[in-house]
Chain A
Amino acid sequence: MQSAEKSEALERQIEQWRNFLRRRQAIHPVDVAELEDHLREQVAALVDGGLDEEEAFLVAVKRMGSLDALSREFAREHSDRLWKQLVVLPSEPGDARPGIRTDAIAAFALAVAAALLVKLPALFGFGLDEHAGFYARNASLFVLPLVAGYFAWKRPLDSTAIQRLAMAFIAAAVIVNVYPFAPEGNTLVLAALHLPVALWLLVGVAYAAGRWGEAEGRMDFVRFSGELFIYYVLIALGGGVFTAFMLMLFEAIGIDAEPFLESWLLPCGAAGAVLVAAWLVEAKQSVVENMAPVLTRLFTPLFALLLLAFLATLAFSGRGLNVERELLIAFDLLLVVVLGLLLYSISARDPARPPGLFDIAQVVLVASALLVDAVALWAIAARITEMGLTPNRVAALGLNLLLLVNLAWSAVLYVRFLRQRNTFHALLRWQTNYLPIFALWAAIVVVAFPPLFGFI
Chain B
Amino acid sequence: MDINKDLIAASSTPIVLAILAEEDSYGYAILKRVRELSDGRMEWTDGMLYPVLHRLERLEFVESRWEAREGERRRKYYRITRQGRAQLAEERRQWQAVDATLRGIWRMLGDDAAPGAPLPQST
B-binding residues in A (CB < 8 A): 1-2, 31, 33-35, 37-38, 40-42, 60, 63-65, 69-70, 73-74, 76-78, 351-352, 423, 425-426
Contact = CB atoms under 8 A, between A and B. Distances in A.
Given A2-B73, A73-B51, A37 B46 contact: no
A63 B57 CA distance: 23
A426 B59 CA distance: 9
A245 B105 CA distance: 78
Which 3 A-B pairs have CB atoms at the shortest separation, nearest pair first? Answer: A65-B45, A73-B51, A65-B47
Given A40-B73, A77-B58, 20 more contacts: A2-B73, A34-B75, A37-B26, A37-B76, A42-B46, A60-B46, A64-B46, A65-B45, A65-B46, A65-B47, A65-B48, A69-B45, A73-B47, A73-B48, A73-B51, A78-B54, A351-B58, A352-B57, A423-B63, A425-B59
Contact of B60 (A40, A352, A425): A425
A383 B54 CA distance: 52
Interface in B58-96: 58-60, 63, 71-76
B73 A37 contact: yes
A37 B28 contact: yes
A425 B27 contact: no
Contacts of B72: 1
Q: Is chain A's binding surface mostly helix, strand, loop or mixed?
A: helix
B52 to A, nearest CB: 8
Interface residues of B, number: 22
Given A37-B27, A37-B73, A38-B27, A64 B54 contact: no
Contacts of A73: 47-48, 51
A34 B73 CA distance: 11
A89 B73 CA distance: 33
Nearest to B32: A45
B55 interface: yes
Interface in B3-54: 26-28, 45-48, 50-51, 54
A423 B45 contact: no
A69 B46 CA distance: 12
B5 to A, nearest CB: 11
B60 A423 contact: yes
B58 A425 contact: yes
B45 A64 contact: yes
Nearest to B73: A37
A22 B87 CA distance: 34
Nearest to A44: B28
B60 A64 contact: no
B51 A74 contact: yes
Residue among B48, B58, B63, B72 with max Cβ neighbours from chain A (10 Å): B58
19 contacts: A1-B71, A33-B76, A34-B50, A34-B76, A35-B50, A37-B26, A38-B27, A38-B46, A64-B45, A64-B46, A64-B47, A65-B46, A73-B48, A74-B50, A74-B54, A76-B51, A77-B51, A425-B58, A425-B60
Nearest to A422: B60
A22 to B, nearest CB: 15
Contacts of B54: 31, 74, 77-78
Nearest to A21: B47
A76 B57 CA distance: 14
A351 B60 CA distance: 12
Contacts of A425: 58-60
Given A34-B75, A38-B27, A63 B51 contact: no
